[in-house]
């Protein structure tokens, strides 16, 4: 028996999230079908996260256990040959049998992309939020700084009923601006349901002066979803990186 750690990327536009569902097409369903065909045995895959309908991934990890002796490069080439164009296998490696893509993950980085211009960008219709105003970068960066650290993020969770704790640690939160593009990069040890989308929506409300940057500590302390801002649309969100060692997670941070 082998355990394969596989990195993949996908465009989530046509899928109802990652996790298999009985009534909708998901990324997991498509991957399991193609992986099973290449391995010549029925398999289930274990994903590192659940992504919502329309959310994308630049790097998503899953592991799969198999009796096949296929070479890793053969796995990559074979599965990519079966997959549709909006899902790609990036790499494959053998790992210990007890490796678990979700439970062994040390941290994740998400990005949220916005196209800030009155005119839409025809090349990013399903890949960036079209925001028809000028985005206040300075106010958003001031607000974003309050999220860094260990906090109770209950105010930024759409459904907290299935988690034991709503406390999470954000290691870094950067906002980049180039032309009409605004990209938020958030790295942390874990994220709640819709957490990044609510944070992004709250920063949009900050930009529109509906919320002051200095209100963020009080919103966090309230532990009340109604105190935070809107939920930004899913198609601007990407799971950007997943980390399986602290060295990789904190590379370049000086920690």
Question: What angle, rounded to 10 degrees, do the helices at 195-207 and 137-145 form?
Answer: 130
Would you say 51 and 233 are in contact if contact means Cβ atoms under 8 Å apart? no
Query: Catalytic residue at 159?
Result: no
Tokens of 18: 């990652």
- Percent helix, strand, coil in the chain, to 5, is 30, 30, 40
128 and 236 in contact (C-beta within 8 Å)? yes
Question: Residues 132, 134, 135, 136: is their CA dihedral positive or negative?
Answer: negative
* Residue with the two structure tokens 């966090």: 220
- Helix, strand or coil for residue 73? helix
CA 253 – CA 255 distance, rounded (Å): 5
The SS3 of residue 157 is coil
Q: Which of 52, 180, 205, 215 is catalytic?
A: 52
> Element (H or E) spanning 67, and its range?
none
Nearest-angstrom CA–CA distance, 211 and 239? 26
Two tokens, residue 68: 């096949």
CB burial of 41-55 (b: ≥16 within 10 Å; e: otherwise) equals eebebbbbbebbbbb
Q: Which residues are catalytic?
A: 52
């Amino acid at each position: 028996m082998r355990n394969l750690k596989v990195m993949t990327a996908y465009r989530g536009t046509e899928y109802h999230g990652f996790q298999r569902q009985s009534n909708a097409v998901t990324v997991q369903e498509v991957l399991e079908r193609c992986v099973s065909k290449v391995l010549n045995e029925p398999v289930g895959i274990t994903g590192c996260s659940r992504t919502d309908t329309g959310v994308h991934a630049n790097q998503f990890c899953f592991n799969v256990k198999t009796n096949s002796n296929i070479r890793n490069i053969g796995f990559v080439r074979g599965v990519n040959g079966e997959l549709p164009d909006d899902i790609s296998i990036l790499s494959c490696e053998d790992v210990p049998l007890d490796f678990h893509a979700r439970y062994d993950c040390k941290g994740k980085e998400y990005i949220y992309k916005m196209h800030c211009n009155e005119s839409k960008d025809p090349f990013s219709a399903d890949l960036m939020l079209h925001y028809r105003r000028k985005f206040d970068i300075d106010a958003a960066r001031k607000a974003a700084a309050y999220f860094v650290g260990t906090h109770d993020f209950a105010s930024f969770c759409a459904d907290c009923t299935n988690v034991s704790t709503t406390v999470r640690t954000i290691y870094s939160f950067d906002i980049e601006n180039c032309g009409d593009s605004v990209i938020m990069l958030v790295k942390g040890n874990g994220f709640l349901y819709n957490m990044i989308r609510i944070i992004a929506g709250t920063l949009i409300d900050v930009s529109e002066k509906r919320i002051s940057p200095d209100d963020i500590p009080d919103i966090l302390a309230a532990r009340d979803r109604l105190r935070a801002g809107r939920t930004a649309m899913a198609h601007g969100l990407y799971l950007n990186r997943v980390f399986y060692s602290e060295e990789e997670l904190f590379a370049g941070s000086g920690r």
